[in-house]
Each structure stands twice: as C-alpha cells, then as structure tokens.
Amino acid sequence: LMSALLVVLALLIFAIDTFTPLDMAIAVMYVVVVLLSVNLWRRRGVLLASAACLFLTVLSYGLTHTMVFSGPASGRLVVSLAAISITAWLALRGQAATAALLAREEALRVSRLQLAHVTRVTMLGELAASIAHEVNQPLAAISTNGQACLRWLQRAQPDLEEARSAVTSMLEASARATGVIRRIRSLARRGDPQYSALDLNSVAQDSVDLMRRELHQQHVRLRLALAPALPPVLADRVQLQQVIINLLMNAVQAMAAQPAAEAPLWLELRTLRQPDGALQLAVTDNGPGIAGADLPRLFEPFFSTKTDGMGMGLPICRSIIETHGGRIWAESGSAAAGATLAFTLPVQEPQP
Ligand code: ADP
C-alpha cells in the first residue's frame, strides 16, 4: 500500500510539474519520494525510485520546454536533479550504516547466546557425576521397592497394604528422577530468554539440588538462608539458574584448590530483601578469598586465575544480571570468610 502511495505521489509531482504553469522547481519535491522510499525498499529499490524521479524530471522538462536551454528553467532543472541525486546518495549511505549497525547488535546477541550455551553445557559436563548420582538414587529406590513389593505379593497371604506402600514409594522416586531430568533438560536448552514471574528461592533451591553431590564430594557444607515470602522477580529461569550454579561452582573450586585446610569448608547461600525493595542473593564461602588486585578485574572477559579457566563465567553472569535490571559484585577480606559474590534483582511490582 505504501509503495502504491509513493508511486501516486511521484506521478502527482510529475503532473503538477508538467501541467501547471508554475515557475518553480516543483521537481525538488521528488526528494520526498526518495526519502520515503528508504523506509520501504532496499538499496536497489531506492536506486530505481531515484532514477525514476530523475527521469520524470527530465521528461517533464522535455514536454514543457521546446528549447533545450532556457535560462531560469534550465537552472531549476539542474537544481532539481542535483537535489534528487544528493538526497538519494545521502539516504543510501544512511540506510547502509543502519543495516551494518543492526547486523552488529544482532551478531553480538547471537554470539552471547552461543557463549552462554557453551558455558552452560561445560558446567553440565563438570556436574555430570552429580547428575548421574541424582538420577541413580531414585532409580535404586524404585528397584528396591519393586523387589519388596514382589515379596509382599508372593507371600502365601499377600500383604496388599505393604505392597501398596512400596508402589507409592516407587512412584515418588520416579517423580524425583523426572524432576532431575527436567531441570537438566531446561538447563541444557538453548534459546532466547523467556521471562516469567519467578520465586527466587525456588530457583536457588533447584540450582542447589543440581550441585548437592558436588558439594558432598568436596566435603563442603552448605547453609541455605532463604528469606521467606519474597515477592516474585521477572526473570528467565534457566539464566538465573546458570548464574547461581556458576557462583556455587566457583566457590567450590576456589575451596577445593586451596591446600588442605583445618577448618571445615562451608558455603552459604542467602536470599534477602533490600531496604529499597530489590531482592538480593549472596554466595559466601570460606575459601582463600580474592586478592585485592584481582577484585576489579573479576568480571572482565577471559580473566581467570585457574590454569584451565575460561574466564567467561562471571562476565556472562554479569551480562545476565544486568539484562535483568540488576547488579552483581564481589567482596572479599571480611573476617572468617573467603569471598562473597552477590547480585540484586528488581522485584516485579504487582499490576495496579
Ligand atoms: P573461571 O572460573 O573460568 O576462572 P570466572 O569468570 O567464573 O572464570 O571467574 C574468574 C575468576 O574469579 C576465577 O578465576 C577466580 O580467580 C575468581 N573467583 C570467582 N569466584 C571466586 C571465589 N568464590 N573465590 C575466589 N576466587 C573466585
């Protein structure tokens, strides 16, 4: 429709230019056609439209002037042709610049999604043993209860009550296994973020569940201090889980890397509501802490003190938290604790 209107506009200008006795450079109005065409068509279309405007200008001149040169009229012709050409050139340049810019934002977004996917899958790889254990436990429970159930049924006097309770346990265990698989599947999923109203505590709990075995293996005691009745945050569940798991993994790795300590290793995950209403989640460990000189560089891409570190964990955490409208930071050096990594998220205000 817009394209048709543009053609009509061009023809209108042509008609006025050709059939009204106005001594003005009407043809300059063709620049409007050129400017509008930039929003409608690609480069080729704009070039064609500009060429058509130039042609109509010359055609109109040819129809209304018997002499090729006629002082002021020729001057108006040249001015019109120049105006149309210059406008077309500037418009095309602007169009190309915008296109290049769009391709760069978009490329950035795609590469960030890919990177986030890679670190997520890497994390899953590191968590493989824990995950296998998480699924194995309910499977073992199903098998044990299945055998018990058979025994109750094979008695001379089958004990249906006991059999029923064994089957109930089997169903519970299978639901637990399904839950683990669901969490892993959603974590491995790749795609654009999906925002929904989430309970930060439940996301934290899900992340901790995936880390349990890892914590157990490294002899790390976990304290959960979840503030009750927090308002929901508007966030992507997978991305938040990724941030929390990353913070927990970093803490475990930092503690595991230090020379055997006398003090037992512990880790605390707290959620709380800040005075300004925002929610805060903090992970504190009693590992070696972070050197003062490293603190400002922690969130820089590729900054890592590990021999095999990628240094992308915290930058991705920061990018995720900031796109959620929050803030993330690190603290170190307070008494008795190692490092604290914390982030805030704005709460989703209830719609009035
Ligand atoms: P990577 O884990 O690949 O090194 P990150 O961006 O996740 O990349 O972490 C960057 C650096 O931050 C780590 O190499 C480590 O030096 C430091 N760091 C992160 N968390 C902790 C922590 N809990 N204790 C001590 N150092 C930490």
Instruction: Using the atom order of ligand 1, give the atom closest to the CA of residue 314.
Output: 6
Q: Atom 23, ligand 1: which residue's CA is nearest? A: 251
Query: Would you state the pLDDT for residue 26?
Result: 82
Query: Would you state the pLDDT for residue 68?
Result: 66
pTM of the model: 0.63
Distance of CA 36 to the CA centre of its chain: 34
Report how far residue 250's alpha carbon sits from residue 257's, in angstroms, rounded to the nearest whole number.
Answer: 10
Ligand 1 proximal residues by C-beta, below 6 Å? 250-251, 254, 285, 287, 290, 298, 303-306, 309-314, 338-339
Query: Would you state the pLDDT for residue 350?
Result: 60
Instruction: Name the stretches of the chain with pLDDT < 70.
Output: 66-70, 111-112, 115, 189-191, 260-261, 335, 350-352
Q: Using one digit for the tens of pLDDT, what is the confidence trace for 300-322? A: 877 899 887 778 789 889 888 98
CB 200 within 8 A of CB 233: yes
Q: Atom 16, ligand 1: which residue's CA is nearest? A: 305
CB 60 within 8 A of CB 27: yes
Give the 3-state secondary structure of residue 233: strand
Å from CA of 344 to ligand 1 middle: 19
Instruction: Using the atom order of ligand 1, give the atom closest to the CA of residue 304.
Output: 14
Locate all alpha helices (DSSP H) within 127-223, ordered by sequence. 128-154, 160-188, 200-217
Q: Atom 12, ligand 1: which residue's CA is nearest? A: 298
The closest alpha carbon to 221, from 205, 203, 208, 202, belongs to 208
